[in-house]
């Protein structure tokens, strides 16, 4: 029998050092986006109360009444920079943005519905998580979480090949490695019947079913830790292991549908 997935705990107080950051972020986003801002959610390590000062980004999800225009996009970029610059405890602010109509559409139940219900905590506004019941682990959720893995890997491959700036190269390597680790977890979530909330949890769940891939997982964590490796090594991981992940997804999807 499928087991209902847990949600991030909303009763435990946030880490003391992150409270000023969250309060300031909400204040600035409300002022900058005005009536177009529907609600704000926190996810990631800050939401799990496991953030590391100076190491962990602030991950926020913004739901808007309507899509941003070009001017508002510029304002949002400025707000991201301003919040991070005011709080050295966070290296950067990472934003996931959606508009209300998209979030509440039937097509978004397994993506936005799952995301808001199980992976986020509402900081401001109408909590859309209350619109959804708890989800059970399923292949539909895994596919929605994973998105178009082939296209994303292709984009990162292009960025890695083109960049000549070390900092950008490390950013791309870290981002694609994180994406691949979450994709590894998506391959087994329907079998695990549990929710992974961190990269180590993703790796542990995946290796229970694919123990022969331990070397590849270890290499991904090297990229996540921003260790500089030759481009040919990172590109090999994207093309070889990334290609295997995409092929395994297609294989499971043909079997399950």
Nearest to 147 by CA among 91, 174, 186, 194: 186
16-131 is a CATH 3.30.460.10 domain: yes
Give the pair of three-digit tokens for residue 199.
């990269």
- Sorted by where each begins, the domain ranges of the chain are 16-131, 139-256
DSSP string, 101-167: HHHTSGGGIIIIIHHHHHSEEEEEE--GGGGSPPPBP-HHHHHHHH--HHHHHHHHHHHHHH---HH
Beta strand residue intervals within the chain, DSSP E:
37-43, 58-64, 93-99, 120-125
* CA trace torsion 148, 151, 155, 160 (10° rounding): 90
Give the pair of three-digit tokens for residue 121.
């905590």
* Cα–Cα distance, 135 to 202 (Å, whole number): 18
**pLDDT tens per residue, range 197-240:** 789 999 999 999 999 999 999 999 999 999 999 999 999 999 99
Is 0.85 topped by the overall pTM?
no
Cβ pair 136, 4 in contact under 8 A: yes
**pLDDT tens per residue, range 3-60:** 566 678 887 899 999 999 999 999 999 999 999 999 999 999 999 999 999 989 999 9
């Amino acid at each position: 029998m499928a087991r209902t997935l847990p949600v991030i705990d909303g009763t435990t107080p946030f880490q003391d050092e992150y409270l000023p950051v969250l309060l300031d972020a909400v204040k600035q986003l409300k002022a900058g986006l005005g009536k177009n801002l529907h609600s704000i959610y926190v996810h990631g390590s800050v939401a799990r109360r496991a953030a590391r000062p100076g190491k962990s980004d602030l991950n926020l999800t913004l739901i808007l009444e309507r899509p941003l225009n070009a001017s508002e996009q510029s304002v949002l970029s400025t707000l991201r920079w301003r919040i991070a610059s005011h709080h050295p405890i966070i290296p950067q602010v990472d934003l996931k943005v959606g508009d209300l109509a998209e979030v509440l559409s039937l097509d978004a139940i397994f993506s936005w519905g799952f995301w808001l219900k199980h992976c986020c905590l509402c900081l401001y506004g109408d909590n859309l998580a209350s619109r959804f019941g708890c989800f059970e682990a399923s292949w539909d959720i895994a596919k929605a979480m994973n998105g178009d893995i082939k296209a994303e890997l292709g984009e990162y491959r292009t960025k890695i090949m083109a960049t000549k700036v070390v900092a950008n190269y490390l950013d791309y390597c870290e981002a694609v490695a994180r994406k691949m680790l979450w994709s590894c977890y998506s391959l087994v979530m329907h079998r695990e019947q549990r929710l992974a909330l961190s990269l180590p949890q993703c790796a542990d769940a995946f290796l229970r079913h694919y123990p022969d891939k331990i070397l590849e997982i270890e290499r991904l964590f090297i990229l996540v830790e921003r260790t500089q490796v030759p481009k040919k090594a990172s590109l090999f991981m994207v093309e070889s292991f990334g290609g295997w992940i995409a092929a395994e997804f297609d294989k499971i999807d043909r079997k399950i549908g």
